[in-house]
Amino acid sequence: MKKTLIIIVIALVAAYVVKRMVVDPYLWKKAIATPEHALKLGSFVFSKRRGHNGSQSMENQYFILKVTEIQGDYVRMAVIRKLKAGDQIVQGDFSTTKQAYEEAKGNIKNLVITGISRDDLYGRRTGHDPLQIDDYLLEKYPALKTSRYYFEDVPENKRNRPVPDDRMEREEYFALVYSKKEIIEHGRLVGWILNNSPEPELSNIVENIDLILN
């Protein structure tokens, strides 16, 4: 009986390894080669990771991102967020719930999601809260009257710009910029970061991609 149990455990481990090392990569490369799941400007990327829940324990965190720029190996993304109205609370880390995450997989194309420029989100308007709907945003982006979902868009005049020389501007430039090669070949998000070096390098933090939708 003990020997049989050991054989079963070994078989299960072997099957898991084969799935992770052979089957999953094959299915990923097959999917990303199709128009519906290809990586391109405007793609929605569903990603999840393990993270702290504000205490010492860990939890699954779910993110929905939109591709706003692709330049060489640099893929810039923005998190799909929801502006608050009045005193309504929004999640601080902009992750979403598992239920909303799963529902969005089948409904993302039907949601009204507004691209708002960084200047409009963080402009210095008196008493302005960047997470709060106000008259300025409603007038400039009337779609927000229908849906409060939005993402931080890259203005046309700032797309495909060269990497800035200024340190502060470089840090801002590489916020939420991921490796195109890692996405296509391995189905994962690996960020480009500045790490005490003048040149960007790949992070050692890896986030798995569940799905890419167009």
CA-closest candidate to residue 60, choices 25, 97, 24: 97
pLDDT tens digits, residue range 162-196? Answer: 888 888 888 888 889 999 999 999 999 999 998 87
Q: Which domain holds residue 2?
A: 1-33
Q: pTM score, two decimals?
A: 0.84
| Distance separating alpha carbons of residues 179 and 75, to the nearest angstrom | 6
Residue 75: exposed, middle, or buried by beta-carbon count in 10 A (0-12, 13-18, 19+)?
Answer: buried
For residues 148 and 121, membership in a common domain is answered with: yes
58 and 151 assigned to the same domain: yes
Is residue 3's pLDDT more than 60?
yes
Q: How many domains does the chain contain in total?
A: 2
Q: Which residue has the higher pLDDT, 152 or 15?
A: 152
Across 6-26, average pLDDT:
63
User: 183 near 209, Cβ under 8 Å?
Assistant: yes
Residue 32 pLDDT: 83
Tens digits of per-residue pLDDT, 47-57?
Answer: 987 766 556 67
24 and 43 housed in the same domain: no
Question: What would the pLDDT profile of 102-145 be if each residue is shown by its tens digit?
Answer: 888 888 989 899 999 888 887 766 566 777 888 888 999 999 99
Is residue 30's pLDDT more than 60? yes
Same domain, 98 and 151: yes
Same domain, 22 and 43: no
Q: What are the pLDDT digits (tens) for 43-93?
A: 999 998 776 655 667 777 888 999 999 999 999 999 998 887 765 555 544
Statement to judge: residues 100 and 16 lie in one domain: no
Residues ≥6 apart with Cβ < 8 Å to 137 = 83, 116, 120, 144
Percentage of the chain beyond pLDDT 70 is 78
Residues 29 and 43 in one domain: no
Q: Are 45 and 64 part of one and the same domain? A: yes
Q: Higher-confidence residue: 11 or 129?
A: 129
Q: Are residues 61 and 159 in the same domain?
A: yes
Q: Is the pLDDT of residue 8 over 70?
A: no
Residues 70 and 174 in one domain: yes
What value does the mean pLDDT of the chain take?
82
Determine phi and psi for 207, rounding to 5 degrees. -120, 135
Model pLDDT, residue 19: 56
Residue 150 has pLDDT above 60, yes or no: yes
Is residue 111 located within the same domain as residue 181? yes
The answer on 123 and 50 residing in a single domain is yes
Residue 177's pLDDT is: 94
Using CA atoms, how far apart are residues 6 and 12, in angstroms rounded to an integer? 10
Cβ neighbours of residue 86 closer than 8 Å, sequence gap 6 or more? none
